[in-house]
Structure 1
Amino acid sequence: MSAHWWVIANPYSGKKGEVAGRAKAALRAKSVAFDLHESQSPEHLADLVAEGVATGATHFAGVGGDGTAHLIVNALMANRSDTTPTPTLAILPAGSGSDFVRTFALPRRIEEAAAHLATDTVYPCDVGRLTGDFGERYFLNVADIGVAAASVKMTERLPRFMGGARYAAGFWLTLAGFPTKNVKLSAGRRSYEGTAINVVIANGQYFGGGMNVAPNATVMDGMFDIQVFAGPRRLAFSVMPKVIRGTHISHRAVKRFVAPSFTLECASDWPVEADGELVGRGPVTGEIVSEALNFKI
C-alpha cells in the first residue's frame, strides 16, 4: 500500500505561485495520497513539520530546493524521539540548485519526480550535525566553511534568471576579496594545520548548481567526505574547473579526509553554510547521525 505524504511547498521556489499547483497536479496524476501545505516562513515550515509529526505522519515531501529540504530535515530532527519511527523524506525539486537529488540521479522536475512517491523504495540516509556559537544545525547534503560559504550572500544578490550559473558567478566574485587563513582540522586519526581558503564537509556528492565536489561520498556509510582547499587563492583557477567534473581529488591543493566526526579551528569571522543556508560562523565541530532518515528514491 502506498504511503500518505505530508507535503510542504515553498512558494518562493521556482516561479512564484506555481510550485504548489504543479505539485498537486503531478501527485494526483500519479494517484499519490497526500496533504499539501504551503509554508510562509522558515518558522512556519518548522511548525508544519511538527504538526505532521503530531498527527502521525511519517512520510514528508518538500517542494523546493536544497534550502527547503534543509529546513524540513532540521524540523524532523527537532521532533525526533525514541518513540517516533524513522521519517521518510522525498524532494520534488523546484529550486535553482536542488543538488542533493543529483547524488541519486533523480529527476529535477516536479512532474517526473512525483512518480517516485507512488513507489516504496527508500534509501537509508545519514544526516550531518554541526555545532558552534550558532548552536546546533543539521544538514543533508554539503556544508562549507570559508569562501564557498561567504559566496552565499553574493549568490543571493544575483538575478534568478541565471539559474545554476549564479553559484559559480557568486563564488568567483567573492573569491577576489576573500583571504586565505590558517585552519586546524582534526578528523578521525588524521589532521591538517595550515592555510586554507575553504573546507567542505560533504554527505552528498554535488553542490553549487551541479559541481561534483565529493564524487566518492555516500550518504549511508556513516562518514563525512571532508576536503580542505589549501594553498593560495590563485590555485582556485586550476582546482575549480576540476571540481565541476569531480576530478579534483588528486590536486595538490586538496586535502581529503573521511571520518564520522571533525573539529575545525578557524578564524571567528569565517562563515559557515549548510545546504546553501548561512548558519553562522566558525569554529565548528560536526558529527554524522547515521541513518537518521529514509530518503525516497
Structure 2
Amino acid sequence: MESPDWFVIVNPAAGRGTDLLARTKQALAGQDISASVHVSADAADVTRLIDEAVAAGQRRFVAVGGDGTVNLVANALLGHEWTDPPTLGILPAGTGCDFVRVFGIAQDVEHAAGHLVGTDTYRSDAAVIEGDWGTRYFMNIAQAGIGAASATTADKLGFLRGLRYQTSFWLTLPGFARTDVTVRVGKRTYQGDAISVIFANGQFFGSGMNVAPKATLVSGEIDAQVISARKRQAPLLMRKAARGLHLGHREVHRLRGAVFSIETKDPWPVEADGEYLGLTPLRGRVLPGAIDIKI
C-alpha cells in the first residue's frame, strides 16, 4: 500500500547540531514516504506554512524536533476547525522529546520515520490555556511555579542534553519563593501554599521523568498535581518523581477534571510543553480527541 502524503515541518535548531533537514529527507526516503518537507524559520513561519497547507486540503502533518516543535505545530493545527481531527506524526530530534515516550516512538529521526508508514493512529486529547499572555494549546504538560522557572533556565543549558532539566531545577530551587495558590480542577479546589503546580495531559517531562504516571491522553481530563513540599524535601521528591513513585507523598495533591485554573498570591511563571508563556493566573480546559497521533 502506498504511504499517504505528509506535510513535514522541520525545526532546524533541533537535532543537536546535525543537519536535520538532510537527515529527515534521508529517513523519509528510506521508508518510501511521500512528503513535502519545509523548514520553519520561527513560530510565525510554522503557522503560515500550516495555514497554507490546510487551505490546500492537507490533513497529515509531521513535526520534526522536540516538544517545543510539536507544540508549535499543534497550536497551528488546533487554530483551525476540523470535522475530523488532523493527523500528526512526530520525528523526535530535539533536546526534549517527552510527549512521544508514551507511544514507544524512538528518540531519533531515522528510526521514528518507520511510524509514518501504515494507517495506525491514536486519538489524543489536547488542552487549551488562557492568561494575560493570550491563548495557548498544549499536548503534553503545562505548569506554573518552580517547574516553569526551571524549564526556562533549561533552555539555556542545551549542551547538557538529558541532564539539563534536572540541573536547571537545582540551580533555580534556592532562589525560588513559594506562595499561596488557589487551584481549581473540575469540582475540587486546593488552597494553600505550594512550590509548583502541574497540569498533565501526557505522562513524561524533563527528559524522561515520569511525573504523571496515571495521566492518559484519552481521559478527557487533566491530571493536576499541587506540590506543597518544602525545599529540603526536594531531593527525595525529585528522585521519586523520576520513576513515577511520588504520588503517595503527603505533599503531592492530585486533582483531576476537564476544566482547571490557578491563581497565585505572587505571580508565578507559566510554561507549556517547555515554552515560557508569561505569568499566572491561568485557566484552561481539555479538548477531547483533538488530534490523531500517528503511531
TM-score of the two chains, using structure 2 as the length reference: 0.97
Gaps of 5+ in 1: none
1:20 lines up with 2:35 in the alignment = no
Aligned to 2:205: 207
Over residues 251-277 of structure 1, what are the superposed CA-to-partner deviations in whole Å (9 max), with x where a residue is unaligned? 111000111111211145201000000
Aligned to 1:169: 167
Over residues 221-266 of structure 1, what are the superposed CA-to-partner deviations in whole Å (9 max), with x where a residue is unaligned? 1011100001322221221100000000001110001111112111
Q: 1:268 to 1:34 in 2, by over 3 A?
A: farther
Over residues 134-155 of structure 1, what are the superposed CA-to-partner deviations in whole Å (9 max), with x where a residue is unaligned? 1110000000100010112321
Aligned to 1:230: 228
- The 2-side partners of 1:272 and 1:150 are apart by 8
1:144-183 correspondence to structure 2 within 5 Å = 144-158=143-157, 160-183=158-181
Percent of counterpart pairs with the same letter? Answer: 44
Deviation at 1:17, TM superposition (A): 5.4
1:50-199 correspondence to structure 2 within 5 Å = 50-78=51-79, 80-82=80-82, 84-158=83-157, 160-199=158-197
Over residues 23-46 of structure 1, what are the superposed CA-to-partner deviations in whole Å (9 max), with x where a residue is unaligned? 110111101110000001111111
Aligned to 1:273: 271
- The 2-side partners of 1:103 and 1:280 are apart by 28
> What amino acid is aligned across from residue 290 of structure 2 in structure 1?
A
> What amino acid is aligned across from residue 130 of structure 1 in structure 2?
I
Aligned to 2:217: 219
Deviation at 1:181, TM superposition (A): 0.5
| Partner SS state of residue 235, structure 2 | helix
- The 2-side partners of 1:284 and 1:164 are apart by 29
> What amino acid is aligned across from residue 123 of structure 2 in structure 1?
P
TM-score of the two chains, using structure 1 as the length reference: 0.96
- The 2-side partners of 1:36 and 1:17 are apart by 17
CA contact (8 A) 1:134 1:280 kept: yes
> What amino acid is aligned across from residue 256 of structure 2 in structure 1?
V
| Partner SS state of residue 6, structure 2 | strand
CA contact (8 A) 2:180 2:266 kept: no
- The 1-side partners of 2:265 and 2:126 are apart by 25
- The 2-side partners of 1:41 and 1:161 are apart by 21
- The 1-side partners of 2:161 and 2:218 are apart by 30
- The 2-side partners of 1:125 and 1:255 are apart by 25
- The 2-side partners of 1:40 and 1:163 are apart by 23
Over residues 37-71 of structure 1, what are the superposed CA-to-partner deviations in whole Å (9 max), with x where a residue is unaligned? 00011111111111111111101001100000000
Over residues 197-233 of structure 1, what are the superposed CA-to-partner deviations in whole Å (9 max), with x where a residue is unaligned? 0000000000011100001111011011100001322
- The 2-side partners of 1:267 and 1:20 are apart by 46
CA contact (8 A) 2:152 2:275 kept: no
- The 2-side partners of 1:267 and 1:16 are apart by 41
1:243-258 correspondence to structure 2 within 5 Å = 243-258=241-256
- The 2-side partners of 1:26 and 1:168 are apart by 31
Aligned to 1:36: 37
CA contact (8 A) 1:7 1:60 kept: yes
Over residues 72-111 of structure 1, what are the superposed CA-to-partner deviations in whole Å (9 max), with x where a residue is unaligned? 0111111x225x5421011100001100011112111101
